[in-house]
Amino acid sequence: MVESEIIPRLMLAHRNVAIEPTPAVDPARLLGRETTETFARMVVTREPASLIAFVGGLLQAGVALDTIYVELLVPAARRLGEYWDEDSASFTDVTVGLGRLQQVVRALGSRTAGQVEEAVFSRSAFFAPGPGEQHLFGLFIVEDFFRRAGWRTWVETNATAEELIDTTRSHWFDVFGMSLSVQAHADEVSDNIRAIREASRNPNIFVMVGGRLLDEHPELITPLGADATAASGGEALLVANHALLIANNQLSALTQGA
């Protein structure tokens, strides 16, 4: 009901907040540790409509949407994990809170869907959580960055390794992205990447792996068999665009040479 009724009505009532913000301001004046803490507490105790209204106020004040993703939503999600570690919130509280954050991301993505200028959707990306991943918020953030930039995106949240392989065999993807948070699942992720490369309809698929473990140990990229990592959705988009630009230039040079 929240997703199908409440959020669309709130988006309709406040559509100008996201689409026509005032001139950009210094986010440091509005975002910071205190704001993150306030918002994180709201995520645990309030419904999505209140969270969207909070974000809408920041947009109206001129804070850029990408800044809100990177400096509010992601830190708030991280703070929820800290609440659990500190025993100040239950696992259920954290899980429900992350679900609310995901609804905020979907609502923001729907608000800005019409702002992609003449998107050709010529690039495609496939995202999936690594084995054993419990929370998917970071994955949804990354997918939203790509989709708002005009990419065709596909997300699987409960697929088996065989289903992931079948998807890449059946559909063309320029990029495959997977999340990894704990070392114990690294071997499984490596096996998945190897199988996906072998089965992929695109023989030159660009593979990215992100998550807490890669933030702390980026050197694991090579052993995992991936091409790159990124610390945020915006950085992942830049890396992927750059990789595809280089690949296209190389292909063009080979074609002209032939």
Q: If you write DSSP's letter for every residue of 82-136 in order, what string do you get?
A: HHHHTTSS-HHHHHHHHHHHHHHHHHHHHHHGGGSTT-----EEEEEEPTT----
Distance between terminal CA atoms of the chain? 58
* Distances from the Cα of 248 to the Cα of 80, 252, 255, angstroms: 41, 6, 10
Q: Please give the tally of structural domains in the chain.
A: 2
Please check whether residues 133 and 253 belong to one and the same domain. yes
Please check whether residues 101 and 21 belong to one and the same domain. yes
Domain of 174 in residue numbering reads as 124-257
Please check whether residues 191 and 222 belong to one and the same domain. yes
Supply the DSSP symbol for 24.
Answer: P
Please check whether residues 203 and 231 belong to one and the same domain. yes
Predicted confidence at residue 170, as pLDDT, reads 94
Please check whether residues 37 and 89 belong to one and the same domain. yes
Please check whether residues 75 and 150 belong to one and the same domain. no
Please check whether residues 46 and 142 belong to one and the same domain. no
Distance from C-alpha of 51 to C-alpha of 85, rounded to nearest angstrom: 23
Please check whether residues 169 and 245 belong to one and the same domain. yes
Please check whether residues 99 and 48 belong to one and the same domain. yes
Predicted confidence at residue 172, as pLDDT, reads 94
Please check whether residues 109 and 167 belong to one and the same domain. no
Distance from C-alpha of 100 to C-alpha of 39, rounded to nearest angstrom: 12
The closest alpha carbon to 152, from 112, 125, 178, belongs to 125
Please check whether residues 182 and 98 belong to one and the same domain. no
- Which CATH number fits the domain that encloses residue 83? 1.10.1240
Angle of helix 48-60 relative to helix 91-112, nearest 10 degrees, comes to 50
Tokens in use for 215?
């933030």
Predicted confidence at residue 110, as pLDDT, reads 64
What average pLDDT values come out for the chain (258 residues) when binned by 10 residues? Answer: 39 38 52 88 89 88 83 85 83 84 79 48 88 81 86 91 95 95 91 96 94 89 94 86 79 56
Q: Show which of 84, 115, 146 is a domain's final residue.
A: 115
Please check whether residues 89 and 203 belong to one and the same domain. no
Query: Are 214 and 229 within 8 A, CB to CB?
Result: yes
Predicted confidence at residue 3, as pLDDT, reads 39
Instruction: Assign 208 to helix, strand or coil.
Output: strand
Instruction: Calculate Rg over the CA atoms of the chain.
Output: 19
- Which CATH number fits the domain that encloses residue 141? 3.40.50.280
Instruction: Assign 229 to helix, strand or coil.
Output: coil
Alpha helices in the chain (DSSP H): 7-13, 15-19, 33-45, 48-60, 65-68, 74-85, 91-112, 137-148, 161-170, 186-199, 212-216, 221-224, 233-257
Predicted confidence at residue 252, as pLDDT, reads 56
